[in-house]
Chain A
Amino acid sequence: MNDSVNVTAVADDGARKKDVKRKMRGIKRSAFAFPYLALSVIFVIVPLFIMLYYAFTDSVTGAFTFDNFKRFTDGWSASLILGKSLLAALVTTVICFLLAYPLALALSSTALNKKFVLVMLFILPMWINSLLRTYAIKIVLSILNVPETGFAIWIRVIMGMVYDFFPFMLLPLYSVLSGMDRSLTEASQDLGASPVQTLFKVTLPLSVPGIVSGVLMVFMPTVSTFAISDILGNTDTYMFGNIINQWFNSSSGWNIGSAYSFILLILIAVTVLIANLITKGKTETGGIL
């Protein structure tokens, strides 16, 4: 903040006074954040602690208990659904990545780098309500006659998820690839690497921040979604979000629902933490934020 070089004692004293003054003003300016932060404590942080309290108390007696968490492993039904959700999220994320990465490469390649409208067209659906996009997929599925039974139900749900979350994978990948220094890939090719080698040894490692934020924006949202299964699937394709939603729909299920929400919260915190470790805090958020 204070860049002044201390030449003489007088100048030093003056600079310090100025610094003190500036600090006082700085404190005043940071106070502008107070209303929002105070409201956040009341409406965001306190509710999470109340949820935590619910998670550890009995719905009838209100006594402290671990039973709500025990239900998670009892009979394994909830943990099985969490497992299924994680698997479905993994499949969705991988498909999104395999489609989005080549597309991001193509959009940022010299062949059509300047086609800003094209990039815009791919990003726009992100701003259309996900329920509407899911409904559009439902119509496509009924035209294609994809049945609502057996394994096909998973195809329906995964298709809906890929379609819904695809732009969220594409955007961070595109912004990291289009911002990449082209001379690096040129250098790699000048040094004799084949295009495939360049892709795997130069481009891919350099796009890690984009990949990480793409995965973050697809993986956990898939685990916690409930609308897609409600619209395209059935109880077999319930995601972890459906279970939480279900418990909160019955007035006696809030304590168990809170416990499950808490598990989801921990999972999200862990994935964000891992993401930060991989990228050392430099995730590519792209233009949407």
Chain B
Amino acid sequence: MNKNVKTGVVWSFVALMLVFMYLPIIILIVFSFTDARALGVWSGFSVELYVDLFNNAQVMTALGNSLILAFVAAMLATLLGTAAAVGIFHMRKWKKHTANFVANITMENAEIVTGVAFMIFFLVVRLPNGWITLIIAHTMITVPYVILSVMPRLSQLNPNLYEAGLDLGASPMRSMFTVIVPQLIPGMISGFIMAFTLSLDDFIVSKFINGNVSTIPIYLYNALAKKGVDPTLRALSAVLFVAVLAVLIAMNIVSAKRRKKQLVL
């Protein structure tokens, strides 16, 4: 095959796949600017759905809850996960295998099984569902991802630095916090972002343990699972799509400028 023809074929295939990928999203955004109740019906341009959305107290509460929950859980996960990464990195043999196995459980397990296991557990220990259970669950399911982002930084560290700290008279804690932790910060930041995003995204685990605390994904699920969907969901979805894409694209552009050709997430 002629080289130009080949390149043309490759390009058109990629372009076609890109259309498949983004067309549904674009259609959704387009239809968020019309106020027809039924899906896929255009009844003229209108921003009414957006007005309704921002006046919807339920959505605004859920949004606030989601952001607070994601922030608290990601902070806790970053602390626990960074410490765990340092610990696991210095383990040997069976201890390391066991620790890795434990960290892998929530990642490999189906989210629904993790969710119902949390639900049963909180019932047995009589912890009422709500903020506390959500924070515990979100922290536990996001820690492994923090460990995964911190671990590569650790293997790049000079192993003698911590020892040097100790030899110069610092306690292990002090050596850890003044020598090791500052160098792990980039890994911790990407771990935090990942934990934050995963927490914002989760509804399967949350659904079983949220009590009466609503988050955006739970609000979405409850509204979508009902047939005859509320049209303001189109506006909400469009806003969320654009927000997520904008943040991700900005983050990737910034990082691409700094470290060439590396996806942040």
Spot the interface stretch: A4-12, A121-129, A182-190, A199-207: A121-129
Q: Count A-side interface residues using an 8 Å CB cutoff.
A: 83
Given A46-B121, A127-B244, A140-B23, A261 and B116 contact (CB-CB distance below 8 Å): yes
Chain A positions within 8 Å of B172 at CB level: 25, 28-29
Ranked 6 nearest A-B pairs via Cβ: A33-B87, A47-B121, A224-B110, A36-B84, A32-B87, A136-B24
Which of A37, A51, A227, A289 contacts B102, CB < 8 Å? A37
10 contacts between A and B (CB under 8 A): A25-B162, A33-B91, A45-B105, A47-B121, A48-B105, A111-B7, A118-B18, A124-B245, A133-B25, A142-B39
Known: A35-B84, A40-B102. A221 touches B110 (CB 8 A): yes
Interface of chain A: mostly helix, strand, loop or mixed? helix
Tell me if A139 counts as interface (CB < 8 A to partner B): yes
Q: How far is the CB of A82 from chain B (nearest CB, A)?
A: 13
Interface set, chain B 106-152, CB cutoff 8 A to A: 106, 108-114, 116-121, 124, 136-137, 140, 143, 145, 147-148
Contact of A268 with B108 at beta-carbon distance under 8 Å, contacts A140-B27, A254-B120 already known: yes
Q: Is A132's CB within 8 Å of the partner chain B?
A: yes
Q: Smallest distance from the beta carbon of B207 to chain A beta carbons, Å?
A: 8
Query: Using Cβ atoms and an 8 Å threshold, which residues of chain B touch A116?
Result: 256, 261
CB pair B6 A111 closer than 8 Å? yes
User: Does A163 count as interface, using CB distance less than 8 angstroms?
Assistant: yes
Complexed CA–CA distance, A166 and B229 (Å) = 25
Contact A220 B110 (CB under 8 A): yes
New A-B pairs, 4, CB < 8 Å, besides A44-B117, A50-B120: A106-B10, A143-B39, A241-B112, A248-B119
Cα distance A128–B81 in the bound complex, in angstroms? 24
Determine the distance from Cα of A244 to Cα of B245 in the docked complex, in whole angstroms.
Answer: 33
- Which residues of the partner chain B approach A261 to less than 8 Å between Cβ atoms? 112-113, 116-117
Q: Closest CB-CB distance, A72 to chain B, in whole Å?
A: 15
Q: Is A258's CB under 8 angstroms from B261's CB? A: no
Q: Is A153 an interface residue (CB 8 A)?
A: no
Q: Are B225 and A230 in contact (CB under 8 A)?
A: yes
Most A-side CB within 10 Å, residue of B14, B18, B25, B221: B14
CB–CB B116/A51 < 8 A: yes
Q: Is there an interface contact between B143 and A257, defined as CB atoms closer than 8 Å? A: no
Expressed in whole angstroms, the minimum distance between the Cβ of B172 and any Cβ of chain A is: 5
Decide if B13 touches A231 in the complex (CB within 8 Å).
no
Label chain B's interface by main secondary structure.
helix
A127-B112 contact given A120-B252, A135-B28, CB 8 Å threshold: no
Check A30 against B110 for contact (C-beta < 8 Å): no
Question: Given A31-B87, A54-B120: A120 and B263 within 8 A (CB)?
Answer: yes
CB–CB B111/A224 < 8 A: yes
Indicate which residue in B17, B110, B137 contacts A241 across the interface (CB closer than 8 Å): B110
Choice from A44, A50, A257 contacting B105 with Cβ under 8 Å? A44
Question: Do B240 and A132 have beta carbons less than 8 Å apart?
Answer: yes
The answer to the question of A107 belonging to the interface, with a C-beta cut-off of 8 Å to chain B, is yes
Contact B14 A139 (CB under 8 A): no
Q: Min CB distance, B126 to chain A, in Å? A: 13
Residues from 217 to 260 in A contacting B, C-beta threshold 8 Å: 220-221, 223-224, 226-227, 230-231, 241, 244-245, 248, 254, 257-258
Q: Give the residue of A51, A109, A119, A124 whose beta carbon is less than 8 angstroms from that of B10.
A: A109
**Chain A residues with CB under 8 A of B240:** 128-129, 132
Does B161 have its Cβ within 8 Å of any Cβ on chain A? no
- State A53–B137 Cα separation when bound (angstroms): 21
Q: CB of A83 within 8 A of chain B?
A: no
Interface centre among A33, A120, A257 (most CB of B within 10 A): A33
Contact A123 B39, CB 8 Å, known A128-B244, A135-B224:
no
Residues of A with C-beta under 8 A to B89 = 29
Q: Which of A44, A99, A226 contacts B140 (CB 8 A)?
A: A44
Is B88's beta carbon under 8 Å from chain A? yes
One digit per residue, 1 when the CB lies within 8 angstroms of any chain B CB and 0 when it does not, for chain A 127-151 equals: 1111111111111101100000000
Q: Which residues of A contact B (CB under 8 A)?
A: 22, 25-26, 28-37, 39-41, 43-48, 50-51, 54, 99, 102-103, 106-107, 109, 111-112, 116, 118-125, 127-140, 142-143, 163, 166, 220-221, 223-224, 226-227, 230-231, 241, 244-245, 248, 254, 257-258, 261, 264-265, 268, 272, 287-289
With a 10 A CB-CB cut-off, give which of B39, B200, B234 has the most chain A CB atoms. B39
- Contact check, A139 vs B39: say whether CB atoms are below 8 A apart: yes
> Cβ of A289: which chain B residues have Cβ within 8 Å of it?
145, 148
Whether B189 is near chain A, meaning CB under 8 Å from some CB there, is no
Q: Which of B17, B105, B176, B248 counts the most chain A CB atoms within 10 A?
A: B17
Q: Which B residues are CB-close (under 8 A) to A129?
A: 200-201, 203, 216-217, 220, 240, 244
Evaluate whether A138 and B237 lie within 8 angstroms (CB atoms) in the complex, with A47-B118, A50-B124 already known: no
Q: Shortest CB–CB separation between residue A34 and chain B, in angstroms?
A: 7
Nearest-Cβ distance from residue A148 to partner chain B, whole angstroms = 9
Question: Does B72 touch A at the CB level, under 8 Å?
Answer: no
Q: Contact flags (1/0) for B203-246 with A, using CB distance below 8 Å?
A: 11000100000001100110011000100011001001100110
